[in-house]
Amino acid sequence: MKTLIDIQPWIRKEHYLFFSQFEEPFFGVTVNIDCTQAYNVSKQKGNSFFLYYLFRALKAANEIENFRYRIINKKVYLFEQINASPTINRPNGTFGFAYIDYNQDEKGFYTNALKEIERVQQSNDLMPAVSGENVIHFSAIPWIDFTALSHARSFSYPDSSPKISFGKITENNERKTMPISIHAHHGLMDGYHIGLFIEIFQKLMNELNENSINI
């Protein structure tokens, strides 16, 4: 479900009109997230750490309205829900694009995600999500402790989906950290909204989730 935004009274009208004229309207930031608690909980439960933080990143994004804005045919829409389109690594060293619905129930999210990961890993094609515009493009680069990141982009394609990438876990003084890069369309959000996402995501990662499921 999506709702058309009337941009005339919209508080982001001028920002949208200004940045939509840019060849590259995306901006990005890279920060380190403390993942000590999240990593320990996921491993104690035998869970996939990738799915553990992917679920929490998607939950955080869905709580922020600006992450649910999309531009379709030069009009702005607000989606009721956004889903994940992550890259999935294959044993042969390549990757494929997956599509995973957001589910507020973590067990349901994991169940669907595992099926989709298996499907992608058993295929050879490179097929982006066909879910419309209501996705965030996620990627994991667990081999690199990056401090900055850029994305391959087709400027002729009217893209407005945020891109979130996760890097290598490093440990210092018994604290684990992981870089996260967030790119977003500046007509739809600012650094303030990315700051909100980081704050919510970090809070979710810090929670001692006694009810996390085993997979």
**What is the residue extent of each domain of the chain?**
2-6+26-206
pLDDT at residue 131 above 50? no
Helix H segments across the chain? 13-19, 36-44, 49-62, 106-121, 191-206
pTM, whole model, 2 decimals?
Answer: 0.92
- Report the CATH architecture of 2-6+26-206: 2-Layer Sandwich (3.30)
Q: What is the CA 114 to chain-centroid distance, rounded?
A: 17
Per-residue confidence (pLDDT) for residue 157, from 0 to 100: 82
Distances (CA, A) of 84 to 59, 68, 144: 10, 12, 22
Per-residue confidence (pLDDT) for residue 189, from 0 to 100: 98
Query: Torsion over CA of 72, 200, 186 and 62, rounded to 10 degrees?
Result: 0
Residues of the chain above pLDDT 90, percent: 82
How many Å is the Cα radius of gyration of the chain?
17
Q: Which residues are catalytic?
A: 186
Q: What's the pLDDT band for 155 if we cut at 50, 70, 90?
A: confident
Per-residue confidence (pLDDT) for residue 123, from 0 to 100: 87
Residue 64: how many CB atoms within 10 A of its CB? 17
pLDDT at residue 132 above 80? no
